Amino acid sequence: MEGNVEQHGSETLRTLPGDDVRQIMWRLTDRYDLQMLVQSARAVARGPVARLVAEGGRNSHEWTEQKAQLLRAFDESGITAANMDPAQGGFIEGPKNFTLALVAFELSWVDAGAATCSLAGNLALAPIHERGTPEQRDAYMRRAVPPQPGEDRQVWRGAFSLTEPLPYVGVETSLLGGKVRIVEWEEGKEPILQVEKRGRFITNMGFANFVTAAVDSADDRIKGSCIVILEQTDPGLFDRGTPARKLVHQLSSTRDPVFSLRVPAGRIVGGYTVKDGVIVPRYSHSDIIEAVFRRTRVTVGLMTSAKLLSAVEPVIRYQRGRFRGGETIAPGSPRYELGLQQKEDALHRLVDVWATGEAGASLGFAAARLFDELDPLERRKDEAFAAQGIGNGTAQLRPLRRAQKDTLEFLAQAALPEAQRDGVRYEALQADPLVQFSALDALANVLCPAVKLWNTGHGATMMREAVSLMGGYGIMEDCPGFLGQKWMDAQLEATYEGPEAVQRRQLTVTMTSELFLAQFEGWIAEMREVAARRPGTGACALATAMRLWLWSLDHLQKACDAEGGKLFHGNRQGVTFPLADALCWLLASRYQIMDLLELERKGPENPVLAEGLPGLLAFFTDLCHVQAGRAAGEVGRICAELVYGYNRHPAWDGGAGCGPDASDPLAGFGADASASTMPVGPKAGPCVCFDGLEPFACLRLKLDGCLTGVRLAKDRAATALTKVMIPEALDYPV
Ligand X SMILES: Cc1cc2nc3c(=O)[nH]c(=O)nc-3n(C[C@H](O)[C@H](O)[C@H](O)COP(=O)(O)OP(=O)(O)OC[C@H]3O[C@@H](n4cnc5c(N)ncnc54)[C@H](O)[C@@H]3O)c2cc1C
Question: Does residue 96 contact residue 82 with C-beta atoms inside 8 Å?
Answer: yes
Nearest approach in angstroms of CB 303 to ligand X is 13
Q: Segment near ligand X (CB under 6 A), from 8-16, 154-162, 221-229, 441-449? A: 154-162
Nearest approach in angstroms of CB 502 to ligand X is 7
Of the two residues 77 and 254, which places its CB atom closer to ligand X in the complex?
Answer: 254
Please state, as a whole number, how many other Cβ atoms lie within 10 Å of the Cβ of residue 455.
33
Nearest approach in angstroms of CB 289 to ligand X is 9
Determine, following the binding rule CB under 6 A, whether residue 247 of this chain makes contact with ligand X: no
Determine, following the binding rule CB under 6 A, whether residue 177 of this chain makes contact with ligand X: no
Question: What are the residue ranges of helices labelled H in 534-571?
Answer: 539-558
The CA distance from 417 to 343, in Å, is 48
SS3 595: helix
Of the two residues 322 and 504, which places its CB atom closer to ligand X in the complex?
Answer: 504
Residues 6+ apart with CB under 8 A from 122: 83, 100, 296
Nearest approach in angstroms of CB 320 to ligand X is 36
Question: Does residue 494 contact residue 456 with C-beta atoms inside 8 Å?
Answer: yes
The radius of gyration computed from the CA coordinates of the chain, to the nearest angstrom, equals: 27
Question: What are the residue ranges of helices labelled H in 559-607?
Answer: 573-602
Q: Which of 102, 162, 594, 726 binds ligand X (CB under 6 A)?
A: 162
Of the two residues 127 and 615, which places its CB atom closer to ligand X in the complex?
Answer: 127
Determine, following the binding rule CB under 6 A, whether residue 246 of this chain makes contact with ligand X: yes
Binding to ligand X in span 84-143, by CB under 6 A: 120
Q: How many residues form the binding site for ligand X (CB under 6 A)?
A: 21
**Nearest residue to ligand X, by Cβ distance, number only:** 170
Among left, alpha and beta (phi > 0; psi -120 to 50; other), residue 228 is beta
Determine, following the binding rule CB under 6 A, whether residue 496 of this chain makes contact with ligand X: yes
Binding to ligand X in span 201-220, by CB under 6 A: 201-203
Q: What is the contact mask toward ligand X in residues 476 to 495, using x (rule: CB under 6 A)?
A: ----------------x--x
Of the two residues 170 and 522, which places its CB atom closer to ligand X in the complex?
Answer: 170
Q: For the chain, what's the residue count?
A: 734
Of the two residues 118 and 163, which places its CB atom closer to ligand X in the complex?
Answer: 163
Helix (H), strand (E) counts: the chain: 22, 10
The CA distance from 141 to 90, in Å, is 9
Q: Which of 170, 236, 266, 536 binds ligand X (CB under 6 A)?
A: 170
Question: Does residue 734 contact residue 43 with C-beta atoms inside 8 Å?
Answer: no
Strand 210-217, strand 179-184: pairing: parallel
Q: Which of 161, 319, 508, 537 binds ligand X (CB under 6 A)?
A: 161
Nearest approach in angstroms of CB 256 to ligand X is 10
Q: What is the 3-state secondary structure (H, E, C) of 143-181?
A: HCCCCCCCCCCCCCCEEEECCCCCCCCCCCCCCCCCEEE
Determine, following the binding rule CB under 6 A, whether residue 160 of this chain makes contact with ligand X: yes
SS3 419: helix
Q: Segment near ligand X (CB under 6 A), from 162-170, 329-337, 533-541, 641-649? A: 162-170
Of the two residues 193 and 292, which places its CB atom closer to ligand X in the complex?
Answer: 292
Helix (H) or strand (E) holding 99: helix 97-108
Nearest approach in angstroms of CB 82 to ligand X is 19
Determine, following the binding rule CB under 6 A, whether residue 501 of this chain makes contact with ligand X: yes
Nearest approach in angstroms of CB 298 to ligand X is 16
C-alpha atoms less than 13 angstroms from C-alpha of 156 in its C-beta half-sphere: 20
Q: Segment near ligand X (CB under 6 A), from 74-82, 156-164, 321-329, 651-659? A: 156-164
Strand 158-161, strand 210-217: pairing: parallel
Of the two residues 176 and 361, which places its CB atom closer to ligand X in the complex?
Answer: 176
Question: Does residue 212 contact residue 127 with C-beta atoms inside 8 Å?
Answer: yes
Nearest approach in angstroms of CB 246 to ligand X is 5
Question: Does residue 679 contact residue 672 with C-beta atoms inside 8 Å?
Answer: yes
Determine, following the binding rule CB under 6 A, whether residue 254 of this chain makes contact with ligand X: yes
Interface ranges with ligand X (CB under 6 A):
120, 160-163, 170-171, 201-203, 246, 249, 254, 492, 495-499, 501, 573
